[in-house]
């Protein structure tokens, strides 16, 4: 009577998503079961669990061509921040491209030539078509795809590249490429809530976003689909200087059954290679290593042999 009791518990959040804690009920009574009291608390809290960011295998992603500063064999029709060479002026050249110092030195109009650089912008397209997914829970193509998208975004943002995300599932997600740590948290927030849906096969997604992608960038497709139809929408993108790559999730390894679609991962990789699209295969059981490791301390109780005495021990474990 007139006292208080405190109860503490802890756990490890292994599922991404937005969760609600509460409302609460406290059930109380006497040892003999003569009466029972229930206190109800309507207070709630929300908890957002981000997907885990992992170390990635070496992907060697291609880069599209866009105006910029690094040296390549292509020339840009637009001025960039650095000139690679000069040439004689020809009628039609913009006056702002004239290199006046060399013009004075040679006594002849000379204009700058600018390079194309490998573009830093990266689009990640995550396939969330329900019909092509396999596996269950954490060991599913959906969860592997989310982990790969989150980890790839984190890796590219650390390289100061702008990263955008397309994930059309239960709800369409479309995030324009940006740089910086704030963009990483934004993408993790979006990926925490995505789920598969029935209305967006990968080919349709690529056709839908094609007009908004621009030119000269990198596009990475993460998919378990074995249907080669989604390769066709990549071809016009490549003609616009977009460099695609694919991360293929091996469906058969996730459920042990042959897929409903014809073909195999090997055949699909062959078709992609014919079009000059690099690809990488991820199978169930891939040894993901967390980029950031967390440790916690907890108390465990052990019974001593012979005496039956129970002792409390503090242990540290990685989660």
Q: How far is residue 62's CA from residue 278's CA, in Å, rounded to a whole number?
A: 8
Average pLDDT, rounded, for the chain = 86
pLDDT by residue for the chain (319 residues), tens only, comes to: 788 888 888 778 889 999 999 999 999 898 888 999 999 999 999 999 999 999 988 887 887 654 433 333 344 444 443 445 788 888 877 787 888 888 888 888 988 876 444 446 899 999 999 999 999 999 999 999 999 999 999 999 998 899 999 999 999 999 999 999 999 999 999 999 999 999 899 999 999 999 988 888 999 999 999 999 999 999 999 998 999 999 999 999 998 665 445 568 999 999 999 999 999 999 999 999 988 777 778 888 888 887 878 888 888 877 6
Q: For residue range 158-172, what is the model confidence (pLDDT) as tens digits?
A: 988 999 999 999 999
Cβ-count burial 135-150 (b if 16+ within 10 Å, e if not): beeeebbbbbbbbbbb
Q: For residue range 134-148, what is the model confidence (pLDDT) as tens digits?
A: 999 999 999 999 999
User: Residue 80 has what pLDDT?
Assistant: 40
Alpha helices per DSSP H over the chain: 100-106, 141-158, 181-193, 202-209, 234-239, 251-255, 265-274
Pairing of strands 172-178, 218-223: unpaired
Number of Cβ atoms within 10 Å of the Cβ of 193:
15
Which residues 6+ apart lie within 8 Å of 201 measured at CB?
129, 131, 132, 225, 227, 229, 230
What's the count of helices (H) and strands (E) in the chain, helices before strands? 7, 18
Pairing of strands 17-21, 45-49: antiparallel
User: Residue 76 has what pLDDT?
Assistant: 40
Q: Is 260 helix (H, G, I), strand (E, B) or coil?
A: coil
How many CA within 13 A on the CB side of residue 169? 21
**Cα–Cα separations (whole angstroms), residue 95 to 67, 79, 91, 191, 192:** 19, 12, 10, 48, 51
- Tell me which DSSP letter residue 153 carries: H
Q: How far is residue 123's CA from residue 176's CA, in Å, rounded to a whole number?
A: 8
**Dihedral sign, CA of 191, 15, 185, 284?**
negative
């Amino acid at each position: 009577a007139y006292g208080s009791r405190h109860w503490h518990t802890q756990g490890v959040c292994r599922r991404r998503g937005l969760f609600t804690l509460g409302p609460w009920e406290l059930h109380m009574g006497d040892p003999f079961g003569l009466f029972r009291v229930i206190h109800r608390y309507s207070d709630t809290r929300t908890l957002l669990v981000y997907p885990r960011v992992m170390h990635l295998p070496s992907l060697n992603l291609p880069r599209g061509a866009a105006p910029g500063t690094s040296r390549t064999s292509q020339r840009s029709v637009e001025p960039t921040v650095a000139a690679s060479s000069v040439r004689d002026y020809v009628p039609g050249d913009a006056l702002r491209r004239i290199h006046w110092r060399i013009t004075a030195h040679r006594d002849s109009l000379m204009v700058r030539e600018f390079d194309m650089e490998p573009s830093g912008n990266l689009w990640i397209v995550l396939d969330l078509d329900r019909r092509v997914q396999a596996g269950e829970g954490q060991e599913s193509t959906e969860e592997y795809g989310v982990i790969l998208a989150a980890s790839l975004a984190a890796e590219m943002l650390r390289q100061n590249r702008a990263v955008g995300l397309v994930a059309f599932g239960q709800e369409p997600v479309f995030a324009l490429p940006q740089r910086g740590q704030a963009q990483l948290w934004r993408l993790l927030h979006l990926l925490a809530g995505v789920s598969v849906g029935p209305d967006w096969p990968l080919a349709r997604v690529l056709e839908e976003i094609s007009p908004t992608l621009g030119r000269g960038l990198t596009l990475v497709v993460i998919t378990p689909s074995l249907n080669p139809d989604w390769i066709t929408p990549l071809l016009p993108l490549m003609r616009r200087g977009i460099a695609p790559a694919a991360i293929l999730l091996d469906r058969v390894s996730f459920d042990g059954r042959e897929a409903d679609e014809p073909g195999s991962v090997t055949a699909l990789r062959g078709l992609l290679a014919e079009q000059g699209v690099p690809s990488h295969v991820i199978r169930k059981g891939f040894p993901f290593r967390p980029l950031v490791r967390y440790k916690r301390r907890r108390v465990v109780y052990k019974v001593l042999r012979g005496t039956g005495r129970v002792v409390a021990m503090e242990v540290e474990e990685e989660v």
